[in-house]
Structure 1
Amino acid sequence: MTFVPGAFVFFGLIALVVFLSVVIVQQGTVAVITIFGKYQRVMTPGLNFKIPFIEYVYRRISIQNQSVELEFQAITNDQANVRFKAMLVYSVLNQSEEAIQNVAFKFVDQRSLMQALIRTIEGSIRSYVATKKQAEILALRSEIVAHVKTEIDEMLVTWGYHLIDLQLNDIAFDEAIMRSMAQVVASNNLRAAAENEGQALLITKTKSAEAEGNAIKIAAEAERVAAQLRGQGIALFREEVSKGMAQAVQELKDRNMDPSLVLFSMWTEAIRHFAEHGKGNVIFLDGSNDGLQTTLKQLQGLIQKNANDELTE
């Protein structure tokens, strides 16, 4: 069997056409097809076919998340130099034809896109930092990220992308500023410690004063109760003495004896008690008949008063 040269050429052309017609698109990417330089369609991952010599694969676009590291400087409102290190995560907005066309045709190449994206984010952060003081910057990480997203989200959509995340990994100041900030933190900590110590001392002294005041109140109340009880005891003692004297006088009267004998007995007992239990003090007693009579009359008056009080009750 012999092959005709024309047939060989024919089969060769068919093989070439088939080869040029097959387009394999890798997972995570799409292919943009143009006809004579004009957008035609988008090929999805897998085996695809195109018209040889007419359709052309203009660009393969990754639809996976992409990241890039940024490092730049900004100036605060009070002229402090701030160094930022950040990581940007972004991706194609979606797989719609409009988004893919924007990604494919808005920029000449990927390098131009990255340059525009990085400069836009840096400019947004610089403009925000310029309105803040250096003492505020470290506490504004989340606010800076939110500001950047608000500023560039709409613009990225027109490019066919969206910002997934912006992480500020490092915010650093000049060495002199870092030292001064450390000194401020140290002084604030010392002041806080001093204030806490002062508060603790004040609480301790307040509690001590309250305890002392409560102790004085308790002692005063106890003394008041004790004095009241002593007064009641003395009153009861006097009442019992008066009753006993009145009873003794009545018994002497019933036996036709002189009641003054009771008074004389009490008077002598009192003198004996003074003599036995005295501590060196001198007691002057009027031992004359007139003095004795005066004392007896006073005792009789006291007895009579107690007797009248009992009758009144």
Structure 2
Amino acid sequence: MDFPVSGFFIFTLVLVLLAILFASQGIKVVPQQTAWVVERLGKFHAVLSPGLNFIIPFVDRVAYRHSLKEIPLDTPSQVCITRDNTQLTVDGVLFFQVTDPQRASYGTSNYIIAITQLAQTTLRSVIGKMELDKTFEERDLINKSVVSSIDEAALNWGVKVLRYEIKDLTPPAVILQAMQQQITAEREKRAVVAASEGRKLEQINLATGAREAAIAQSEGEKQAEINKAEGQAAATIALANATAEALERIAAATQKEGGLTAVNLQVAEKYVAAFSELARTNNTLIVPGNMSDMSTLIASAMKIVDTSRGAQASLPKSK
């Protein structure tokens, strides 16, 4: 009775183990952004999508596993010859993505090596068509040329080349030294040109300032002369007006009673004062040759006054 029970237990255990084995071999959980290629009896059967998948154990097998993420790939540095026979050491990074897992599995034995080799050969070809200076200026053009060339060939490998970026362009040390000297010369040239431009602007500013100062000075002198002339004219007019007003007042005073006597007295005083002043300013004493000259002078002055008064009397009076 013990043997049949033991045999049944072993048989059940074997079945459980086989079930576990079949489950482990037949149930496949594929991660996100991953594609598994399944072969059935050595022939391509299907591509498992992310999630839970079932296959036939011992008949189907997962032959290839591909990541569908964007993959950066460093390309080894290499020496390229430019159009003007200059050596350049170039290295870059390539970004690609698996788009067709079946072609990526069977299109080439190793698509990574294929892409790397194609990127290097294409890069040498593109740089060989350019001169040294252009290689530094046309990095975008080089990158686009490498991508377009690789992408066309990579379609058969189930791979999409997204972009290529050059990391370093290193010319020989002699070329670097010559480029540095050229840069230094260009900077010195720009410094000299800038200094000369500064001196030119300085001279222009000085000349402009001197011209404006001269113009301002001449305008000031002109205005000063005008003001002086206007002042002299105004002074002359004022003096003439004052003299005329004084004469009018003197003439009016002579018309009054005692006016002629006052005039005689003033003329006599002026005569005496003139001789006194002349005596003070000279070493020689000067006296009139005839003391009667004073009375004669006064009589002549009074005659002029009488004539002026008669002429005023003969003028028509204004109404």
Q: TM-score, normalised by structure 2?
A: 0.67
Summarize deviations over 1:164-213 as a string: whole Å, max 9, x none. Answer: 34232211001110000111111111111112222222222222222211
SS in structure 1 opposite 2:65? strand
Alignment of 1:144 with 2:142, yes or no, is yes
- Consecutive unaligned residues of structure 2, counting only runs of 5 or more, are 255-259, 282-319
| CA gap 1:225/1:21 in 2 versus in 1, 3 angstroms | same
Matches of 2:61 and 2:217, distance apart in 1: 106
Match of 1:3 in 2: 7
Aligned in 2, Cα 1:245/1:91: closer, same or farther, shift over 3 Å?
same
> Which of 67, 72, 78 is equivalent to 1:62?
67
RMSD: 3.5
Q: Does 1:81 align with 2:87?
A: yes
Query: 2:26 and 2:133 mapped to 1: Cα distance?
Result: 63
Query: What is the aligned partner in structure 2 of residue 196 from structure 1?
Result: 194
1:166 equivalent to 2:172? Answer no
Cα distance in 1 for partners of 2:138, 2:117 equals 21
Change (3 A) 1:88 1:244: same
What is the rounded CA distance, in whole Å, between the counterparts of 2:162 and 2:142 in structure 1?
15
Write the distance in 2 (CA, Å) between the matches of 1:229 and 1:39. Answer: 114
CA contact (8 A) 2:33 2:68 kept: yes
Q: Equivalences for 1:26-45 in 2 at 5 Å?
A: 28-45=33-50
Could you tell me whether the CA contact under 8 Å between 2:115 and 2:150 is conserved in 1?
A: no
* Correspondence 1:179-218 to 2 at 5 A: 179-218=177-216
Partner of 1:100: 101
- Deviation per residue, 1:23-52 (Å, 9 max, x gap): 454555322112343321112345533223
Deviation per residue, 1:4-26 (Å, 9 max, x gap): 79958974766655554344545
**Structure 1 residues 47, 244: CA separation in 2 closer, same or farther (over 3 Å shift)?**
closer
Residue 90 of structure 1 corresponds to 96
Alpha-carbon distance in structure 2 between the residues aligned to 1:131 and 1:213 = 60
Structure 1 residue aligned with 2:120 = 122
Give the distance between the partners of 1:56 and 1:250, measured in 2 at CA. 145
SS in 2 for 1:138: helix
- Percent identity of equivalent pairs: 20
The structural deviation recorded for 1:162 is 1.7
Structure with larger RCO (C-alpha < 8 A, sep 6+): 1
Q: What do the CA deviations read for 1:87-110 (whole angstroms, capped 9, x no partner)?
A: 2222212xxxxx1211111012x2
Counterpart CA distance in 2 for 1:65 and 1:31 is 17
Mapped partners of 1:238, 1:17: distance in 2: 137
For structure 1, which runs of at least 5 residues remain unmatched after alignment?
Answer: 94-98, 276-313
Q: Secondary structure at the match of 2:89?
A: strand
- Which amino acid in the other structure matches residue 167 of structure 1? E
The structure number with the bigger radius of gyration is: 2
Helix, strand or coil at the partner of 1:3 = helix
